[in-house]
A and B are shown apart, each in its own frame.
Chain A
Amino acid sequence: MSSTSVTGVGHLLRLVLRRDRVRLPLWVVGLGGTIVASALAVPPLYDTPEKIAGYARTVGASPVSYLMSGRQVGLDTLGGIVANEISQVAQLGICLMVVFLVVRHTRAEEESGRAELLRSTVLGRDAATLAGLVYGVATALLVGAITTTSMLAAGLDAGGSLTYGTGLALLGVAYTAVTLVAVQLSTSARGALGLAGAAVAVGYLVRGLGAMEDNALVWLSPFGWAQGMDAFGDERWWPAALLLGFTALLLAVAARLMAHRDFGGGLLATRPGPARAGRLLSTPFGVAARLQRGLLLGWAVGLFLLGMLYGAVIPTVPDLIASNPEMADVVGASGQAAEDALVDAFLGYIYLFMAVIACGFVVSSVLRLRAEEEAGRTEMVLATPVSRTSWMAATTAVALIAAAKLTVLMGLGLAVGYGVGSGEWDRVLPQVGGQLAYLPGTLVVGALAVALHGLLPRGTGLAWAAVALIALQVILGQLLGLPDAVQAISPFWHLAAVPVDDFEVVPYTGLLLLTAALVAAGLWGYRRRDAVTG
Chain B
Amino acid sequence: MAVIELHDVVKTFGPTHALDHLDLTVEQGEVHGFLGPNGAGKSTTIRVLLGLLRADSGTATMLGGDPWHDAATLHRRLAYVPGDVSLWPNLSGGEVIDVLARMRGGLDEARRTEMLERFDLDPTKKARTYSKGNRQKVALVAALASRADLYLLDEPTSGLDPLMEAEFQEAVLELKQEGATILLSSHILAEAEALADRISIIRAGRVVQSGTLAELRHLTRTTVIVETDRPADGIAQVPGVHDPEVHGNRTTFDVDSDHLDAAVTALAGLGVRSLAAHPPTLEELFLRQYGDEVDS
Q: Identify the A interface with B (CB < 8 A).
A: 187-188, 270-278, 281-282, 284, 287, 290-291, 293-294, 375-377, 379-388, 390, 530-531, 533-534
In the complex, B95 has a CB within 8 A of chain A: yes
| With A270-B129, A284-B103 as contacts: A382 and B95 at CB distance below 8 Å | no
Asked if B73 is at the interface of the complex by the 8 Å CB criterion, the answer is yes
Closest residue of chain A to B128 (Cβ to Cβ) is A270
A385–B129 touching, CB < 8 Å: no
What 1/0 flags go to B107-132 for Cβ under 8 Å of A?
00000000000000001111011000
B95 to chain A: which residues have CB within 8 Å?
Answer: 273-274, 276-278, 281
User: Is B103 within 8 A of A381, CB to CB?
Assistant: yes
Contact of A376 with B124 in the complex, beta carbons under 8 Å? no
- B102 near A281 with CB under 8 A, answer yes
Are B50 and A187 in contact, CB atoms less than 8 angstroms apart?
no
Contact flag A383-B91 (CB < 8 Å), given A275-B123, A277-B98, A530-B54: no
Q: For the complex formed, measure the closest distance between the CB of B62 and the CB atoms of chain A, giving whole angstroms.
A: 12
CB pair A274–B94 under 8 Å, yes or no, is: yes
Complex interface: chain B residues within 8 A of A276 (CB): 94-95, 98, 123
Given contacts A272-B124, A291-B88, contact A277 B94 (CB under 8 A): yes
A187-B52 contact, Cβ under 8 Å, with A376-B82, A376-B86, A383-B75? no
Determine whether the beta carbon of A270 is less than 8 Å from that of B126.
yes
**Bound-complex Cα distance A377 to B82 (A):** 10
Within the complex, the shortest CB–CB distance from A382 to chain B, in Å, comes to 6
A377 to B94, Cβ gap below 8 A? no
B73 (CB) vs chain A CBs: closest residue: A385
The verdict on B21 contacting chain A, using a C-beta distance below 8 Å, is: no
Given the interface pairs A275-B92, A384-B103, the reply to whether A188 lies near B98 with Cβ below 8 Å is no
- Min CB–CB distance A261 → chain B (angstroms): 15
- In the docked arrangement, what's the CA distance between A177 and B129, Å? 28
A-B contact pairs, 5 of them (CB 8 A): A294-B90, A376-B85, A377-B87, A385-B76, A385-B104
User: Could you tell me the distance in whole angstroms from the C-beta of A528 to the nearest C-beta in chain B?
Assistant: 8
B80 contact from A187, A377, A380, A534, Cβ within 8 A = A380
**Contact A530-B80, Cβ < 8 Å, known A274-B95, A384-B103:** no
Given A270-B129, A380-B82, A534-B84: A277 and B124 interface contact (C-beta under 8 Å): no
Chain A residues contacting B87 (CB-CB under 8 Å) are: 377
Select A386's contact among B72, B92, B139, beta carbons within 8 Å: B72
Instruction: Please indicate the chain B residues that have their CB under 8 angstroms from the CB of A281 in the complex.
Output: 95, 98-99, 102
* Cα distance A515–B242 in the bound complex, in angstroms: 71
> Which listed residue, A187, A272, A385, A531, touches B103 by the CB 8 Å rule?
A385
Set of chain A residues within 8 Å of B129, measured between Cβ atoms: 270
Given known pairs A270-B129, A534-B86, the reply for A385 and B100 (CB within 8 Å) is no
Query: CB of B47 within 8 A of chain A?
Result: yes
Report B-chain residues with C-beta under 8 Å of the C-beta of A282: 102
Q: How far is the CA of A390 from the CA of B44 in the complex (A)?
A: 24
C-alpha spacing A276/B98, complex, angstroms: 7
CB distance from B86 to the nearest CB of A (A): 4
- List chain B residues, Cβ under 8 A from A187: 128
Q: How long is the Cα–Cα vector from A344 to B104 in the complex, in angstroms?
A: 53
Chain A residues with CB below 8 A from B88, complex form: 291, 377
- Chain B residues contacting A383 (CB-CB under 8 Å) are 50, 52, 75, 78-80, 82, 152
Give, as a whole number of angstroms, the nearest-CB distance from A273 to chain B: 3
Query: Which residues between 8 and 46 of chain B lie within 8 Å of chain A, taking CB atoms?
Result: 43
> Of the candidates A188, A273, A384, A531, which one forms a contact with B124 in the assembled complex, judged by CB atoms under 8 Å apart?
A273
Q: Please classify the interface of chain A as helix (H, G, I), strand (E, B), loop, or mixed, using the class held by over half of its residues.
A: loop
- Nearest CB on B from A324, distance (A): 51
CA–CA, A271 and B90, complex, Å:
10
- Whole-angstrom distance between the alpha carbons of A17 and B85 in the complex? 30
Q: CA A264 – CA B128 in complex, angstroms? A: 11
Given A275-B92, A385-B76, check contact A530 B53 (CB 8 Å).
yes
With a cutoff of 8 Å between Cβ atoms, the chain A residues found around residue B246 in the complex are none
Contact B47 A533 (CB under 8 A): yes
Chain A contacts of B248 at CB under 8 A?
A: none
Question: Please, how many angstroms separate the alpha-carbon atoms of A382 and B71 in the complex?
Answer: 8
Given A270-B126, A272-B124, A273-B92, are A376 and B84 neighbors across the interface (CB < 8 Å)? yes
User: Are A277's CB and B52's CB within 8 A?
Assistant: no
Closest to B78 in A: A383
B52 touches A530 (CB 8 A): yes
**Minimum distance in angstroms from B136 CB to a CB of chain A:** 12
Q: A377 to B86, Cβ gap below 8 A?
A: yes
Expressed in whole angstroms, the Cα–Cα distance for A273 and B89 within the complex equals 11
How distant is the Cα of A362 from the Cα of B89 in the complex, in angstroms? Answer: 21
When C-beta atoms are compared, the residue in chain A nearest to B105 turns out to be A385
| Chain B residues closer than 8 Å to A277, beta-carbon distance | 91, 94-95, 97-99, 102
Q: What are the 4 tightest A-B residue pairs by CB atom distance, in nearest-first order?
A: A273-B92, A277-B98, A383-B80, A387-B72
Cβ contacts under 8 Å, B52 to chain A? 379, 382-383, 530-531, 533
| Interface residue B244 (Cβ < 8 Å from any Cβ of A) | no
Chain B positions within 8 Å of A275 at CB level:
92, 94, 123-124
Bound Cα distance A287, B103 (Å): 10
- B211 at the A/B interface (Cβ < 8 Å)? no
User: Which residues of B are found within 8 Å of A377, using beta-carbon distances?
Assistant: 86-88
Nearest B residue to A391, CB-CB = B103
| A264 to B137 Cα, complex, angstroms | 22
The CA of A420 and the CA of B273, in the complex, are separated in Å by 104
A524 to chain B, nearest CB (A): 15
CB closest chain-A residue, reference B146: A384
Give CA–CA (A290, B84) in the complex, Å. 23
Task: Chain A residues near B133: list those with CB within 8 A.
Answer: none
State the CA gap A278–B102 with chains docked (Å): 11
Query: Closest B-chain residue to A533, C-beta based?
Result: B47
Q: Chain B residue with minimal CB distance to A529? A: B54
The docked-state distance in angstroms from the alpha carbon of A316 to that of B152 is 66
Q: Are B124 and A379 in contact (CB under 8 A)?
A: no
Bound CA–CA A387/B52 (angstroms):
11
Interface string of B125-165 (1 = CB under 8 A from A): 11011000000000100000000000010000000000000
Whether B51 is near chain A, meaning CB under 8 Å from some CB there, is yes
Q: Is the CB–CB distance between A188 and B92 below 8 Å?
A: no
In the complex with contacts A384-B75, A387-B71, A272-B92 CB distance below 8 A: yes
Please, how many angstroms separate the alpha-carbon atoms of A380 and B100 in the complex? 8
**What's the nearest-Cβ distance from chain B to residue A46, in Å?**
51
Distance in Å from the Cβ of A532 to the closest Cβ of chain B? 9
Is the beta-carbon distance between B94 and A271 smaller than 8 angstroms?
A: no
**When the two chains form their complex, are residues B94 and A188 in contact, meaning their CB atoms are under 8 A apart?**
no
The answer to whether B128 touches A384 (Cβ under 8 A) is no
Question: Does A531 contact B102, Cβ atoms closer than 8 Å?
Answer: no
CA distance A270 to B94 in the complex (A): 16
B50 to chain A, nearest CB (A): 5
Known: A277-B94, A383-B50, A385-B72. 19 other contacts (CB 8 A): A270-B128, A270-B129, A273-B92, A274-B92, A275-B124, A276-B123, A277-B95, A277-B99, A376-B85, A379-B50, A382-B71, A383-B79, A384-B100, A384-B104, A385-B105, A386-B72, A386-B103, A388-B71, A534-B84
Closest beta carbon of chain A to B257's beta carbon, Å = 40
Task: List B contacts of A380 (CB < 8 A).
Answer: 80, 82, 85, 100, 139
Q: What residues of B have a CB within 8 angstroms of the CB of A270 in the complex?
A: 126, 128-129
Q: Across the two chains, which residue of chain B brings its CB closest to A534? A: B84
State how many angstroms separate the Cβ of A391 from the closest Cβ of chain B: 9
How far is A380 from B52 in the complex, measured between Cα atoms in Å?
Answer: 10
